[in-house]
Amino acid sequence: MFSWFGKVSFVSYTKVSDFAVHLKDGRMMGSVCKDCGYTTFPPRADCPQGLSGNFEFKEYSGKGKVFTHTTISAAPTGFEDVAPYTIVVVELDEGGRLMAWAGDTVPAKELKIGIPVQVVPRIFEDSPEIKLYYTVEKPGATWKKAPAPHLG
């Protein structure tokens, strides 16, 4: 499932593969260590503090602030057709950061370090396969969420 995540995927298997299932349904999941409470995004199965492997997903609001950004003109393989695109690193309110693309509501010219933003889960509509990503939008942006699935 994890290969759903990204326009180009490099990782098919991970202990946090269900991240992609949640993202398809509109939920952005970080992780919490059940032993010490260490909470982070992107999620990790193994706690960097106590070395515990006992984790659970925690839903993030996607609210945060711009940490840094750049607009890429010279694109690598698989991204030529979307260049130029703007990459934004967001500092998330609940802890941790993520990398995402700037969405239509936040043009590159209006991007500034420190401004509040909303991260929104996305799916490539015109792709035959499931391809997931997220974009950075103005605060208050909304999206559809599917009901929580039962994941093994």
Partner 1 sequence: MSRVGVIGAGHGVFGRRSDATVQELAFEAFRLAIKDAGISRDDLDATVVAAVPEYHKQRSVAGVVQEYLNLNPKPTWLTEVACASGSAAIRTAWMAIKSGVHQVVAVIGCQKMTEMATAEILALMGRVGEVQWESIFGSTFPGYYAMFATSHMHEFGTTHEQMMQVAVKNHFYGSKNPNALFRKEIQLDKAMNSDAVASPFCVYDCCANADGAACLILAEESRAKALSKKVVWLDGVGCATASMSVLRRPNLVGLPSAVEAGQQAFRMAKVTAKDVKVAEVHDCFTIAEIMAYEDLGFCKKGHGGKFIEEKRSYIGGEVAVNVDGGLKAKGHPIGATGVSMAYEIVKQLRGESGERQVPNADIGLTHNVGGIGQYTFVHLFRRD
133 touches partner 1 (CB under 8 A): yes
36 touches Zn ion (CB under 5 A): yes
Q: Which of 97, 105, 138, 141 binds partner 1 (CB under 8 A)?
A: 97
Among candidate residues 126, 138, 132, the one with its CA nearest the CA of residue 23: 132
75 touches Zn ion (CB under 5 A): no
Q: Between β-strands 63-72 and 97-102, what pairing exists: parallel, antiparallel or unpaired?
A: unpaired
Residue 102 to residue 89: CA distance in whole angstroms: 10
Polymer length in residues for the chain: 152
Question: How is residue 5 annotated by DSSP?
Answer: B
**Binding window for partner 1 (CB under 8 A); candidates: 8-16, 21-29, 120-128, 142-150:** 8-16
**Using CB under 8 A as the criterion, which residues of the chain lie in contact with partner 1 when the complex forms?**
5-11, 14, 42, 67-79, 82-85, 87, 89, 96-101, 108, 112-114, 133
